[in-house]
A and B are shown apart, each in its own frame.
Chain A
């Protein structure tokens, strides 16, 4: 079969892309492991912050998802849509917004101060956890909400007729769902937070709050200790890989089949209504305030930004276009079961690990800085690949089962089949995944930190530099520009996919 050959070739290509840098890391590590006590502290911190972030995201998501499930109100779809925003929002923008809201001079600390409470410390462990919850809480809410919505309406009817108490209702209706969904959410968030780089870079407070990813960067650039960087990179690969493998043993939620009778009109007490309303409002405030402050404070300076910012923006757009097309092209080649497995390998090999390995690999042949743009685009493409495959695979499989016999009957094959059947029918998911990949690449602050220099800077790196030289006005305006570009590119591609 033709598409099997395509899958095999692109899988091999991908494995090569991932293994090449890894081999160089193993080579540079000198096959030994000399971890100092501060390296151990970094490993410990990585675990502690990931555990806090995963637990808080999962636990806090439960009441919000429950509230969204049982209450029906005008604008509910919009609320669910807003919950998707942090996924596309560039990390550096969110961090800036969170500093404005939760920093020492922010709104929250002014209130705390007024009532004589200890201020919230955004630099260090709690700041890192806060930012991770900001990004992962919405994800957790959406997954739990989906799980709760999958409970067949019949069960609600049955249980309501039994006139149970609140806690009995919880254990009868929600607990079975949560028991299945929450462990896998926890594992996913935990794995994501293990590879945290940009958040730790901006909010981590020195040696006390250093993740392994950050330690790789530090030994790479501060100490030029390539052996140590390579060793830490291998430690990181091992950590994430073992968590990903371990999470495979966690029971996945299965869909319960029912007649799909939706029950919305079951009655709640007034207390439940007020409580749910409060929970939803607080969650929305938490998600939307940091984004709105960027829009509020950034809009003043957006027309007076220096040329260097626009130069960075143009570079970001170029890299985003390159990497999104690369990612979707690979994704289209990998819409099979093996393809999905291979495509997900990128999760275990984090951007910084990939970047460090590629840097060491290229260093042997010349100046790695000259290849900053293709390397960044490729690594960004690999990061969004698992999401792209997840979007493309189900419709692609459907097309194959539905049209294979017909195509064979009329002799439609090869490139004609790809053009007339495969791509034509996939244009909507292709548009959606192009948009997603472009937005993710636009906001990425990972490899570019290793490869960027004064001359080559993407917009997120430029913002980080502006923050570093304390040009907060320009940083905020650039952050607004970056958010517009990220959301804009998503919207444009998604739109094109729908229109064609």
Chain B
């Protein structure tokens, strides 16, 4: 009976929604997950837009390329600079039409198509109760005994790709050699970030590839001070998350409204406590206290999209070869 009522409910709900315009937003799986910012962003935007914001979770760039101009997407959120070249080449994206001047980033942002909405440094997060001597460099990480590390597949996850490029940038021609050295410590390679982070929080692994801002979640949401980001002497990969709007969108006004919303104070204030990273359009002094206190690296690596794209194929093949042995 309960099930029947439930079904009728769904049926009626789809009816009620049918009259509101739908803004379709492609986002990665983690974005709409338990820890993701998706649900609160949807709620905040729907309050003012008079529309139905629908997230469609999954791969971003591959899906866009396969769907081409017949794509349903109006907005794509959760890209980063390592994949924007491919995304740009689809010719599906329109200029973001927001002012890059309103951004507060460690670098000067000049792209007019993709707009950063938050950023952080790619880092390994560890459990202090299980790791007594945290690694201070990639060498330390490879030399750790009995540490189980979970990373993401660079072909399906952009944080995974960031790591591969980061290591390639640090090690150059010796990157494959380094991966072979690190391989025994890797418990598994997951498809996406949230799967890996889930393995970490459930105790299957002690170290996970994530971001230097991830511990903020444990500190403020759980009062747990034991999860920390290992800061490496070599410097860290700076990771900007981007949003873009589609040229062929059937809701151009809503899409434009959403891009504006991304830089608004409301959205930017949601970011730290939902996506657990630094807001892109707020000055450090406006960040929540926890974020201001997080340790961060002295040096940042940043690859522009052309360089990232050039390195990508070789770096991934080296990773694949080293890890398949």
Contact: B198 with A38, CB < 8 Å? no
Of B189, B194, B201, B321, the contact of A36 (CB 8 Å cutoff): B321
Whether B204 pairs with A453 at a CB distance below 8 angstroms is no
Alpha-carbon distance A206/B36, docked complex (angstroms):
24
Q: Which of B54-62, B238-246, B256-264, B302-310 contacts A (4 or more CB under 8 A)?
A: B54-62
Q: Kindly report which residue of chain B lies nearest to residue A453, judged by CB atoms.
A: B58
Identify the closest chain A residue to B32 (Cβ).
Answer: A469
A86 within 8 A of B: no
Contact among B10, B187, B205, B323 with A207 in the assembled complex (CB-CB below 8 Å): B323
The contact string, 1 if C-beta is below 8 Å from chain A, for chain B 300-325, is: 00000000000000000101110111
Which B residues form the contact surface with A (CB < 8 A)? Answer: 2, 6-7, 10, 13, 26, 29-30, 32-34, 36, 55-59, 62-63, 65-68, 70, 72, 148, 153, 155-156, 183, 186-192, 194-195, 197-198, 201-205, 317, 319-321, 323-325
Contact of B29 with A123 in the complex, beta carbons under 8 Å: no
Contact for B55 among A37, A103, A454, CB less than 8 A: A454
Within 8 A of B (CB), among A201-215: 205-208, 210
A105–B204 Cα gap in the complex (Å)? 6
- Evaluate contact between B67 and A369: CB separation under 8 angstroms: yes
Choose the segment among A161-169, A218-226, A378-386 that binds chain B (4+ C-beta atoms closer than 8 Å): A218-226
Residue in contact with A467 in the complex, picked from B186, B188, B195, CB distance below 8 Å: B195
- State the CA gap A104–B34 with chains docked (Å): 22
Please state if A303 and B2 are interface contacts (CB–CB under 8 Å): yes
B7 (CB) vs chain A CBs: closest residue: A310
Closest to A37 in B: B321
11 residue pairs from A and B, CB less than 8 Å apart? A37-B321, A104-B205, A206-B186, A222-B153, A224-B62, A310-B6, A368-B66, A454-B56, A468-B191, A469-B30, A470-B195
How far is it, in angstroms, between the C-alpha of A344 and the C-alpha of B249 when the chains are bound? Answer: 46
**Interface status of A179 (Cβ within 8 A of chain B):** no
B153 touches A470 (CB 8 A): no
Q: Tell me whether A468 and B56 are in contact (CB under 8 A).
A: no
A41 and B324 contact, Cβ closer than 8 Å, known pairs A218-B155, A366-B70, A468-B192 = yes
Name the A residues within 8 Å of B57 (CB-CB): 454, 465, 469
Q: How far is the CA of A208 from the CA of B325 in the complex (A)?
A: 7
Residue from B189, B195, B321, B323 in contact with A468 in the complex, judged by beta carbons closer than 8 Å: B195
Contacts of B7 in A (CB 8 A): 310
A366, A453, A471 interface centre (most CB from chain B within 10 Å): A453
CB < 8 Å: which of A37, A104, A367, A468 contacts B29? A468
Residues of A near B204 (CB, < 8 A) are 103-105
Separation in Å of the A306 CB from the closest CB of chain B?
10
A307 interface hit (Cβ, 8 Å): yes
Give the interface centre of B6, B189, B197, B319 by most chain A CB atoms within 10 Å: B189
Closest to A104 in B: B204
Complex Cα–Cα for A376 and B190 (A):
26
Task: Give 6 closest A-B pairs by Cβ, nearest first.
Answer: A206-B189, A470-B198, A454-B56, A222-B155, A469-B33, A41-B324
Query: What CA separation (Å) do A193 and B51 show in the bound complex?
Result: 48
| CA distance in complex: A208, B183 (Å) | 10
Give A363 to B153 CA distance when docked, in angstroms: 26
Tell whether, in the assembled complex, residue B62 and residue A222 are in contact, meaning their CB atoms are under 8 Å apart: yes
Q: A453-B56, A454-B55, A470-B197 are in contact. Are A205 and B189 (CB under 8 A)?
A: yes
Contacts known (A38-B321, A105-B204); A221 close to B188, Cβ less than 8 A:
no
